[in-house]
Structure formats: structure tokens, C-alpha cells
Structure 1
Amino acid sequence: MNALTTPLTLETALASWRADPVTLVLIVLVLVGYGIVWRRSPLPAYRAVLFGVVGCGVWLVASCGFVGVYSDVLFWVRALQFVLILMVAPFGLALGMPLTALRDAVGATGRARFGTVARSRIAHLLASPATSSMALLAVPWLIYLSGWYRALLVSSVVDVLTRILLVAIGFGYFYARLQLDPVPHRYPQGVTLFASLAETLGDGVLGVILWQGPLIAADFYAALGRDWGPSIRTDQTVGAGVFWILGDVVGLPFLLVVFGRLRAQERVREEQVDAQIEQTPPGSAAAEADDLVRQGLWWQTDPQIRERFR
């Protein structure tokens, strides 16, 4: 089917598929590799479902489904593809906990080597919240506001490599943020919440630029001669909304997981504090201080502040 002459409708969206050999081979290798290590690990089945359906499934649709078919014809479809392969598919891959499955499957010697790599300086740098957030924020700006965007429209090689890069950056981001897999250093989930606010602001500014700013790759879209669908300006306006609004919407499940992990961390901290209080001998100065704290204001009952200024 020729996407240039066939209007995008619900029917054509369901029926549109294309062959993308590089992506297909890569997805198959990723699925097979994950399946091998998952069977040797104690991870529950729903982790494999998240990895295969949300991760690899969305990645496949974004590359070979109607999103991939119409990505060179409509600006907003390309924006949708970016959201799917930068935010949705990597989120599913990270929820599958592939590094945990790999660590559990390689045996004692492999786990020791795994730990050595995880403690290296390069691992600390790549897995830090600052590095992952900067990469996630910077790459859309670089793609849209440089010659990168037009290059991926005219070159299938640049297109494929860009999509692979986006999946890798997205996975690195969720790996460092969710901290479900082993990480070089564990950061409080509150850091993730604050970083998410900054990322939302950065995406919003880029969305406004795409909405109100100059046309991107206008000569390429004009040369297509598409005689159906929105105008070039309307197409870019819709694409700005897809990238900005949809990007925030698909980020909600991520925030829910972060809130859940934040609450879990608080429960563990509360249990540790309770156990410490129970082990404190009655009548001691520490026990009296704990009694005063329990009767005080909220900032007096906060475990971290109490321990710091005790």
C-alpha cells in the first residue's frame, strides 16, 4: 500500500504494515534473549508479559505498523512514533527487569562480574538520574531543531539508527528512574518526582516551539505532493500536541509506579524506625527523646530530621 496516496483512516491504520528487517531481527533477538534468561530467574510471569507486550509489542507497532508506514508522510505520526519508542516501549522493557533476569541466570561467577561492572565509574555515570534525564530531554530538541529530523526522513539508515537510539535512551532513563533492576547507586524516589517536573516543563517548551515556531522540513513535505489530510502547518500543530500532551499522558503510569515505590520506601523506613525504638531500653535518654518526638510536631516525628538533629 502506498501511504502517500492512501488516506490514513481507522481501516487503513489496522491494515497497514511494512517490513523493517533490522527492527524485526533486533526485536526477535531481544525477545529470545529475554526469554532464555527469564526462564532461569524467579521473576513472575507478568514481568515477561510487560516486557513482551508493552515493550517489544509497542516497539514493533511503532516501527512496522501504521505508525511506521505513515511516519514519513505525516508530521504528527512521526511525533507519535517518537513518543511510543522513547516513552512507552522502554517503560515496558524496564518493567520486565531484564538485568535482574540476566543476573539471576548467569550463576555465581557471572553475578560477581555483573557486580563489578555495576560498580564501575562508567556505570555510575550512565545510570545517574542527571545523565538519563539530560539524554531524554536533549534528544527531541536535537532531532527537531537541527538537520537530524530531515536526515531521518530522507535516509532509511538514519531513521533506523535513530529509532534504536531512542529505545536505548528511553530504557536507560526508566532503568535509572524506576531502579527495579540492580543499579550502581540507589537514589530516593523523591528525586525522580522533582526531575519529572523539570522534564514536563522541557517537553512543554518544545511543544510550544513546534506549535508556534517555523515549519520543520517544510520543503520535504511539500515535495511529497500529498493531496489528502491536514495542511503542513496543521499537521505540525497536531504533531506538537501529540508530542507534548500525549507524552505527558503516557507518563502517568510511570508516575504511579514511582509513587508506589516511594510509599514502599517509606514503609520500610517506618519499620526500621519502629524496630529501633523497640530495641531502645526503657528509661534511657534515647527512649525519652523518642517519647518527646512522638508527642511533637510533624517535623519532630520525621525519621530523617529526627536522626540528623537528635
Structure 2
Amino acid sequence: MSEPSRVDALLSPWAPSVVGLGLPVLAAIAYAVSVAIARGRGIPWPVWRVAIWMVTCALAAWTFAGPPQALRDVNPWMDGVSIGMSAAVLPLGVALGDPVKLIELLRGQRIRWARGRIARVVMFPGVASLVSAIVLTYAITSQWYQAALTEPLPWALLLLTAFVTGLTVNLPILSDDLMPEWATPAVKTLVAFADGLFDAIPGLVMMLLVNKYSGGALLAIAEVIGIPMIAATVVIWVRADAQEQREIDAELDARDAVTGRPAGHGSMEPEIETGRPQPATTRTTTEPSPAEGQGLWWLDDPRFADRFRD
């Protein structure tokens, strides 16, 4: 009898349970129904978010009912795989699916608790990353983890804690308005980079104090998943800059239309018979005020005018 391939080893054996399979299936169905209702109301929702959510649900089923669960007694390092998946991979997938925004679009109003006082403290930039690292490090170095090795309830609570703390890190970073207004895309990218450093702490501690194989698996998953997280924040940053530029261009074009100036604030007059562009006529009168739509564009922009105007 031939040995199972590596792919077969990743897909079997399974240890199905009501919770391990039921929760991911319910999450997939609920999301699909919500998207169908949204589109029925004329609310667009990106297909890529749906795809990421479904893949995340499949990974959750694999984590909670697949080989990481079935092979815990045979391969101790599978504990590190389960914790790493729960703390890093699954929260990232859920955050990219953006269920908060989807629910708010369906309700027509914001979810208050997601922006309440407690949520603002927990999801404050950098705080969630530090709290997640501390909680997870404590969990795997205390009697909690020792009990989780043999008892199902402590193990389930450990995975749930890892998922929730990971979600408090990923959700605000990858959402539009769950962080303070000053947390620009550049700040979010910096926070994502710092989170990658914090994520290494539980894995390193587990390698040194608990089990080097489990710790190595946890460290590897946490650090590898940090790459797409940072990449996602960079994409958000680029899109935000592009959107801001479009808004500035539209505002300046609207001002030009009101003042009768050509769009684009060109400094060259139309070509004359020589076919060469001629410099704009030199002003001999007093420079008009920005309020009249004249002068440099950044003096017209209300965001910068106060900085440069005497």
C-alpha cells in the first residue's frame, strides 16, 4: 500500500463536530444570504469579498474539524497550527469580508457598539496588537494551555480567544471608519507593520517555554500572514490617495467653471502663428485674492490656504 501524498496528509483525517463544521457553514450561508438581499436592494457588493469570506469559512472548517484537530494527539505541533490559524489567518479573512459594513448597509444605520467607547479603546491603533500578544502569550504559558491539551472546553475557549483578539487587530485596520479620523492609511500601514512584530512574541515564547514545534508553527503562520495584511493596507493607502486626488481635481475644476478660467489651471496661452506656446501675460496689477479664483492652486484649496496665506 502506497504512502499518502502530502496533499492527502493536509486533507485527512477529519474529526467533524457540530461546532467545528456547523459554525463555518452557518457563517457562509448567512453571508451569502446577506449579499443576495443587498444586491436585491440595488446595493453593490464586491465579488472578491464574497470569495475571501467563503475561503475563510472553508479554512475555519479545516482548522476546527480537519487535520489540525484530528492529529493533535499524534502531532503536537498541530496545536500551533490551530492557534496560528485562529489568531492570524481567520481574522484577516473575516476583516477582508467586511461584515460590519455589509450589516450596516442592510440596516441603513451604523452599529453603535462597533464605535462605542469600549470599542474605541480596544481598537485604538496599536493597543489591540499589544493586547492580543499579551493575552495569547499568557494563555499558552499558563495552566490554561495545559488543560487545553486534554480537555475540549479549555481548548475551544483558547481558540475563541485567539480569534477574537486577532479580529480586534484586523477589523479596524482593514475597515473604513472604525479607527479615529487621524488614523490615515499611512498610519494603518505602520500599525500593520508593528502588529507583525507583536505577533512574533507568542510564537517565540511558545518555542522557548512550551514546545518548539508548536511554537515554530505558530510563529511561521503569524509572520507569513503579516505579509498580505501589510499589502492590503498599502492597497488601501494607494486607493485613498487616488480618491483624494480625484476629489481635489473635481473641486478645482468646479471653481474654474465658476470663475470662467480654463480647467486645469494652465499657465500657457493658446498657441499663436509661430506654433510655439507663449508664456502667459505678465500681470502688472495687484495680484487678485484667492477668493477670486486666481493665484496658485494650493492657495485656493481650503485645506492649505491658511498655511501659506499671510
Structure 1 residues 20 and 160 mapped into 2: Cα distance closer, same or farther (>3 Å)? Answer: farther
CA contact (8 A) 2:132 2:166 kept: yes
- Displacement after TM superposition at 1:58 (Å): 0.8
Offset at residue 309 of structure 1 (A): 3.1
**Where does structure 1 differ by over 6 angstroms across 4 or more consecutive aligned residues?**
none
**Counterpart for residue 19 of structure 2:** 22
Task: Measure how far apart 1:25 and its partner are.
Answer: 2.6
Residue 168 in structure 1 maps to residue 164 in structure 2: yes
- Is the CA contact (8 Å cut-off) linking 2:20 and 2:64 kept in structure 1? yes
* Residue equivalent to 2:66: 65
Which blocks of at least 5 consecutive residues in structure 2 are unaligned?
39-43, 262-286
CA distance in 2 between counterparts of 1:288 and 1:84 reads: 56
Q: Is the 8 A contact 2:20 2:61 kept in 1?
A: yes
Tell me the SS of whatever aligns to 1:154: coil
Matches within 5 A, 1:1-310: 11-41=8-38, 42-53=44-55, 55-106=56-107, 111-112=108-109, 114-180=110-176, 183=178, 185-186=180-181, 187-211=183-207, 213-214=208-209, 216=210, 236-278=211-253, 279=255, 284-286=288-290, 287-290=294-297, 306=304, 309-310=307-308
Deviation at 1:284, TM superposition (A): 3.8
8 A contact 1:18–1:69 mirrored in 2: yes
Contact 1:91 1:254 in 2 (8 A): yes
The structure with the largest helix share of the pair is: 1
If the length of structure 2 is used for normalisation, what is the TM-score?
A: 0.73
Shift of 1:60: 0.8
CA distance in 2, matches of 1:248, 1:240: 12
Alpha-carbon offset, residue 10 of structure 1: 5.4
TM-score w.r.t. the length of structure 1 is 0.73
Query: What's the offset of the Cα at 1:158?
Result: 1.0
Local SS of the residue matching 2:77: helix
Query: Are 2:136 and 2:162, in contact at CA under 8 Å, matched by a contact in 1?
Result: no
1:234-280 per-residue CA deviation (whole Å, 9 max, x = no partner) reads xx333333222332212212211111110111112223333444427
Gaps of 5+ in 1: 1-6, 217-235, 294-302
Structure number with greater CO (CA < 8 Å, separation at least 6) is: 1
* Residues in 2 aligned to 1:244 and 1:308: alpha-carbon distance in whole angstroms: 49
